[in-house]
Amino acid sequence: MAQSTLTKAIRTSESMEPALSFSTQEQAAQRKLEALRTKNGKRPNIVWLLIDDMGYGDPGAFGGGAAIGAATPNMDRLAREGLKLTSTYSQATCTPTRSAILTGRLPVRTGLTRPILAGDKITKNPWSDEVSLPKLLGDAGYKTVLSGKWHVGEAEGMRPHDVGFDEFYGYYGAQKEITQHVYKARYPDLVLNPERLEMLRKTGSSVALIHGFKGGKTTEVQTVDTPEKMAEGDRLLKEFSVAKIKELARGREPFFLEHAFMKVHADNFASKAFEGKSASKYPYKDAVVEVDAYIGEIVKALEDAGVLENTFIFITSDNGPQLDSWPDGGYTPFRGAKGSAWEGGVRVPGIAYWKDTITPGRESDELFDLMDLFNTSLNLAGIPGKIPTDRYIDGIDQTSFLIEDGGRSRREKIYIWNEHNLMSMRMYEYKIHIKVVQHHAQWLNIDMTTVSDVGLAPWLFNLYIDPKEQYPVGHRMNAWLASMAAELKAHAATFKKYPPKDIGLAQ
């Protein structure tokens, strides 16, 4: 597969994304991991704290916090005491990100290119031939738990406890999808129309808190029949995760916990304990304060259980803020928002924390894709050899970048897709667009947008001098435009041997 002369990344396998090589850094990281396993007597626990629709600029550590009416002391502290990643990238919407981090593969490869919505009839179970991270970790002796939002399929065979997790306690869909049948202030034409409400209910979409076990029972814990019940959803999830950490910490096996918050995805309803607790007093800001408080409680639970020093924690958001629901939406300093390939849609906060292993006070603007969590987690678990070789893996092992002092990112490029469209690529501080999402009304970054070709030449931005992607530098100011275009062609070539999968979400 061809590459440009610009790249320094090395392709070690045709089924693996090329990566930068820093042999001294990588060897030092492996020695550190081996010493930790010897000291602790078992492999490290892995905890992901995934927030829904939080903007890059919402946490104080990334320019928001108290300055915009919602202090985030816990996220800020973890960013100070760990590694703050200022160029972390997600997919443009939630289902694509949630599938990508569990498979290490771009959504266009798995077919999970957009959220599966009420009434969708998919033609194939995408998980039937995918290999998930919890499956690989479970086979290696890890206990695996998902607490919170799933949104990657709720039919039998597609549920979290069907695809590798030992246990699932959470909700299949997003907050809006669960409460729209009872929130008459926003959806009166649905809630007050019995005929249409019955039509929605016949789609079979779950509106309940679910508790499921691999190979065991799946039960509905609570039906969400009022907005007030959804308001307390994250509290219930936090209580479950805190109790589960205590239980898992007593066992001999290491564990993988993905705690996926329901908030701050619209529609946000303030929990009784947090209503008005933000300086802003708006429901979205109260939700940010609530999520931050629960992050503090989960980390404290790890500490109280005596396993914090042997737990890798990663905090992030699944995509940029949903501005269509403004003011029930987050903040980004960048152009665009959820649903777009602009920085505002895919650039998210990233915090890596591991007490006594990641040196406090580190900050890096080098590239990190949330898909890298797949490869990295397998290496932390001591099973990098379990990465599948029969399909293309887009993730890169970033262990040495995260845990070594002065670690360099092994990722050279971020490829950005929007459903089935290859949109853009970031390489170094440059971003090249071959297609763009154009929005035609303020705040309506999903509901009034079109996808367009860029025209005669790709749009090339230097994000260090133009982080809002407002003025292309193009070939007149940048000699690498042609080389970056060649890298896009090299990426497209990977789909010739490893074609994209269609599960019926193409339209």
**287 & 168 share domain:** yes
**356 & 221 share domain:** yes
**346 & 445 share domain:** no
State which of 110-124, 296-310, 491-505 shows the largest mean pLDDT. 296-310
Residue 360 has pLDDT above 60, yes or no: yes
**212 & 82 share domain:** yes
Residue 6 has pLDDT above 90, yes or no: no
**433 & 468 share domain:** yes
Q: Answer whether residue 179 is part of any domain.
A: yes
Please compute, for residue 295, the number of CA atoms within 13 A of its CA located in the half-sphere on the CB side: 29
- Candidate list 151, 161, 433, 439, residue with the active-site label: 151
Read off the pLDDT band of 389 (50, 70, 90). very high
Give the Cα-Cα-Cα angle 95, 353, 328 (nearest 5 degrees).
Answer: 45
How many separate domains does the chain show?
2
Q: What is the structure's pLDDT at 120?
A: 82
In SS3 terms, 191-206 reads as HCCHHHHHHHHCCCCC
Read off the pLDDT band of 507 (50, 70, 90). low
Choosing from 366, 388, 411, the residue where a domain stops is 411
Q: Answer whether residue 12 is part of any domain.
A: no
Residue 348 has pLDDT above 90, yes or no: yes
Q: What is the pTM of this model?
A: 0.97
Q: Classify residue 115 by its DSSP letter.
A: -
Q: Answer whether residue 8 is part of any domain.
A: no
Residue 356 has pLDDT above 70, yes or no: yes
Q: What is the structure's pLDDT at 31?
A: 97
Q: Answer whether residue 206 is part of any domain.
A: yes
**187 & 49 share domain:** yes
Other C-beta atoms closer than 10 Å to the C-beta of 482 total: 12
Q: State mean pLDDT over 216-224.
A: 97
Q: What is the structure's pLDDT at 482?
A: 77
CATH number of the domain residue 442 falls in: 3.30.1120.10
- 419-473 pLDDT, tens digit per residue, is 999 999 999 999 999 999 998 988 888 999 999 999 888 999 999 999 999 999 9
- 50-91 pLDDT, tens digit per residue, is 999 999 999 999 999 999 999 999 999 999 999 999 999 999
Strand-by-strand arrangement of the 459-462 sheet:
413-418, 421-427, 430-433, 459-462
Taking the chain, what is the end-to-end CA distance rounded to the nearest angstrom?
30
Q: Sign (positive/negative) of CA torsion 184, 189, 191, 193? A: positive
Q: What is the structure's pLDDT at 481?
A: 77
**426 & 381 share domain:** no
Whether 475 is catalytic: no
Q: State mean pLDDT over 365-380.
A: 98
Question: Is the separation of the CB atoms in 73 and 66 below 8 Å?
Answer: no
- 98-112 pLDDT, tens digit per residue, is 999 999 999 999 999
Choosing from 367, 386, 411, the residue where a domain stops is 411
Whether 151 is catalytic: yes
**188 & 63 share domain:** yes
**196 & 339 share domain:** yes
Q: What is the structure's pLDDT at 4?
A: 66
The parent domain of residue 449 ranges over: 417-497
Calpha distance 447→180 (Å, rounded): 17
Read off the pLDDT band of 479 (50, 70, 90). confident
Residues pairing with 210 in the sheet: 170, 220
Read off the pLDDT band of 375 (50, 70, 90). very high
